[in-house]
Structure 1
Amino acid sequence: MDISITSPDANNAGVEDQHHHHHHHHHHQGPSSSSSSEQPVQPSDLAAATSPTAQQPSRYESQKRRDWNTFLQYLRNHRPPLTLGRCSGAHVIEFLKYLDQFGKTKVHVPGCAYFGHPNPPAPCACPLKQAWGSLDALIGRLRAAYEENGGRPESNPFGARAVRIYLREVREGQAKARGIPYEKKKRKRPTSAAGTVSSSASAVGDQSGGGGGGGNYGNVVPTTTITTATTGTNTGSLQL
């Protein structure tokens, strides 16, 4: 009889003990949950880590804003008047051609003695234009800005096929005229996209030598775009 009492009792004690242990475990969870409550600090830490990166693209962002405002200004001055909604790829190409007058890249005409010479020995009367790399980066920024400002992707004039074709023609034409084979760079792409970009940026750099300081604009733009892109992915992988 005694035993039978003891046994439930012991059993009970066991349960009690278990319960106590469980309770203790629960209690133990207290600190661990407090440590998990510390964890939100980490994301904010990460956010703090990302905010410098968020500030880094500010160069890209401000460039994008400037480009967007330039384009809107162009539309305002357009005759006949042109609204953003009625803007087509053809208008975008017109805008790119309009920008050529501010270009700093010497693009030799086929009749020029220096046609196809990367480093012409003497000045010539050939026109200065926007370097292909600058236009390509510009279109990338405007394409993003259009959608950020409420435009629908499917009606994005900066993504129009005509614009892509125009840029390809500019690239091929400038490669021939300036003796800079962009095509070769393409073949290296599998190795590393960044490598390709920096080498094409250096090609743009060559042009800045030829075209004077302003050619730098062409150089700065693609490079900054790339830098921010890279930093972006790095933080992305950090967050994971």
Structure 2
Amino acid sequence: MSSNKGKDIAEGSSRSISAPDQQQQNPPPLSRYESQKRRDWNTFGQYLRNQRPPVALSQCNSNQVLDFLRYLDQFGKTKVHLQGCVYFGQPEPPGPCSCPLKQAWGSLDALIGRLRAAYEENGGLPETNPFASGTIRIYLREVRDSQAKARGIPYKKKKKKRMIVKPNDDHTSTFPMQ
């Protein structure tokens, strides 16, 4: 083959192309977050197309987003006790009840974050982003509070630990502030 290599190149033959040149350049695989964001975006788009009448993404507003979040509750796995349930307010109820399963607040919050990013990545303007509206923030806060109350676990926002730097002989160590 080495004697024909120059001839092959001159005649335009592809036989002499080295193995690395033959490999197609594939984009790197998407991260778990990017894959989930794409799935969420496609699911929301499908939801809008299935509405009667279908809703164009450019016409989407916070009402459609709220309807989508409520629609997702039917696929939830988190037991949310109703006000009249004997287990309401108990973190670990001793028995089963007929209260509904819903989407957990944390799942909805993460979903909205991914959809908010996807909206802008797909050409939406930040000022018209329906996932970033105050209505959605209020809804998520209400879901968080009601789920915490139903489980008897008050939601407390975690405080960020401030780090202080203390010189220690030859190197620097960091310690959380108390």
Aligning the two structures, in what range does the TM-score lie when normalised by the shorter sequence? Answer: 0.7 to 0.9
Aligned to 1:32: none
Query: 1:80 Cα deviation (Å)?
Result: 2.2
Query: 1:123 Cα deviation (Å)?
Result: 0.7
Q: Considering Cα pairs closer than 8 Å and 6+ residues apart, tell me whether 1 or 2 has the greater RCO.
A: 1
Aligned to 2:16: none
Q: Which has a greater percent of helix?
A: 1
Q: Quick one: which of 21, 32, 36 aligns to 1:59?
A: 32
Specify the code of the residue in structure 1 equivalent to 2:130.
P
- In the alignment of these two chains, the number of paired residues is 135
Deviation by residue 1:93-120 (Cα, 9 ceiling, x = unmatched): 1100000000000000000000011111
Please give the alpha-carbon distance, in whole angstroms, between the structure 1 residues aligned to 2:62 and 2:99. 27
Please give the alpha-carbon distance, in whole angstroms, between the structure 2 residues aligned to 1:71 and 1:160. 17
Please give the alpha-carbon distance, in whole angstroms, between the structure 2 residues aligned to 1:173 and 1:79. 31
Please give the alpha-carbon distance, in whole angstroms, between the structure 1 residues aligned to 2:53 and 2:145. 32
Aligned to 2:81: 108
Moved over 4 A (4+): none
Aligned to 2:147: 174
Q: Quick one: which of 68, 73, 83 aligns to 1:95?
A: 68
Q: Equivalent pairs: percent with the same residue?
A: 73
Deviation by residue 1:40-70 (Cα, 9 ceiling, x = unmatched): xxxxxxxxxxxxxx86x71111011110010
Aligned to 2:45: 72
Query: 1:190 Cα deviation (Å)?
Result: 2.8
Query: 1:172 Cα deviation (Å)?
Result: 0.6
Instruction: Give ranges in structure 2 of 5+ residues lacking alignment.
Output: 1-27, 163-178
Q: Quick one: which of 154, 157, 162 aligns to 2:135?
A: 162
Please give the alpha-carbon distance, in whole angstroms, between the structure 2 residues aligned to 1:121 and 1:163. 34
Instruction: Give ranges in structure 1 of 5+ residues lacking alignment.
Output: 1-53, 193-240
Query: 1:90 Cα deviation (Å)?
Result: 1.3
Query: 1:179 Cα deviation (Å)?
Result: 1.7
